[in-house]
Amino acid sequence: MPILQIFTNVPKASLPDGFVGKCSNVWGGLHSNWPKQYTCANVLPGQMMSFGGTQEPCALVFAKTIGKIGKYENKGYTEKLTELLGSIGVAKNRMHIVFEDLPRENVGNDGTTFAFKK
């Protein structure tokens, strides 16, 4: 149940076709323990943003999942997500990625929560 949310000041017109799907595939692909049907990606381009005092391309990323969040996992995720955002012109030093390990009981899906799913 990987969730990826990307806020960026890169204009929507500058995003390649299929970019949201690529985001979903990259983040979901890093979590092979979850079926693809549970992966959700949301890209919000054209945001009014500043990073380091300038409005050059930048991003703020929220990467959430149940489990598989930790020191070494997050380093690998950061490498892949940095590469992904680099493909739309965001330099690796112009983004923050926030990782969150969500408790199963705090994520609802299909009329229940993941605490009651196998």
pTM: 0.95
**Model confidence over 96-118: pLDDT tens digits?**
999 999 999 999 999 999 999 87
Angle between helices 71-86 and 19-29 (to 10 degrees): 160
How many CB atoms sit inside 10 A of residue 69's CB? 15
**Which of the residues 2, 11, 35, 57 is marked catalytic?**
2
Please, what is the end-to-end C-alpha distance for the chain in angstroms? 12
Structural domains of the chain, with CATH: 3-116 (3.30.429.10)
User: Quick one: DSSP state of residue 65?
Assistant: E
**Model confidence over 62-96: pLDDT tens digits?**
999 999 899 999 999 999 999 999 999 999 999 99
Q: Is 2 a catalytic residue?
A: yes
One DSSP character per residue, 67-95 reads S--SHHHHHHHHHHHHHHHHTTT--TTSE
